[in-house]
Amino acid sequence: MINQPEPQLGNSENAPASEEPPRWAIHRRLYDWVLSLAETSYGTWALFWISFAESSFFPIPPDVLLAPLCLGSRTRSLWFAAVTTVGSVLGALLGYAIGYWLIDYAVMIPSITLEKIESLKNEFDARGQWYVLVAALTPIPFKLLTITAGAAKMSIPVFLIACVIGRAARFFLVAGIIRAIGPRAIPLIDKYFNLLCVLFVALLVGGFVVLKYFGEH
């Protein structure tokens, strides 16, 4: 999740200088640029706008900036998670709008293809909310699901509820772990985060199944 290439979250005079990425490594350069924003005075605003953009077109997940900001000010971790969640959910509406009105241009966005969108559209009528929820929690490209939701004309209230639950669970989990245990959280998140997300979704789905069962009996 956070370990895309490994960031250096702390400065050390004895640490070797990182090698400059080649000009063609655009993704790595974007990653390094996002990470560097944590050391600026406008880190919180940058977190909001990167969270917003990642939900529809930007390739770098906001966790890259969320983690170092939380480490730099652990008492504000939950605030950073809230900023990330709000930005991401608002950005999801832009992704929905792209899918609804500008689907032919969506293929210009990294990791988006018409084949992927078409393969998911047929599933959205029955299980769209679960696709959005899982994508909101996991490393699946969230923009693929927000754009597909728009292309499939998914119910906007259901779409927003799934986005809020999934994005808030993901970002507050990251921020909460970092707030609780500090720098030791990073390897734990890298190792176990996806498993925690899968367990969360399984419990959530199981809860709805149980409620439906008792409601019918």
Give the residue with greater pLDDT, 8 vs 161.
Answer: 161
Most confident residue range from 7-11, 82-86, 208-212: 82-86
The pLDDT score that the predictor gives to residue 152 is 87
pLDDT > 90 in the chain, percent:
40
pLDDT at 208 over 60: no
Identify which of 44, 45, 35, 29 has the alpha carbon closest to the alpha carbon of residue 10: 35
pLDDT at 201 over 70: no
pLDDT mean over 175-182: 92
Give the pTM. 0.77
Task: Report residue 44 as tokens.
Answer: 């919180």
pLDDT at 133 over 70: yes
Q: CA 47, CA 146: separation in Å to the nearest integer?
A: 19
The pLDDT score that the predictor gives to residue 206 is 52
Q: Collect all residues with Cβ–Cβ distance below 8 Å to 85 and sequence separation of at least 6.
A: 51, 164, 167, 168, 171, 172
> Across the chain, what does the average pLDDT equal?
79
Using 50, 70 and 90 to split pLDDT, how confident is the model at 85?
A: very high
The pLDDT score that the predictor gives to residue 40 is 93
Q: CA 206, CA 200: separation in Å to the nearest integer?
A: 10
pLDDT at 76 over 50: yes
The pLDDT score that the predictor gives to residue 211 is 43
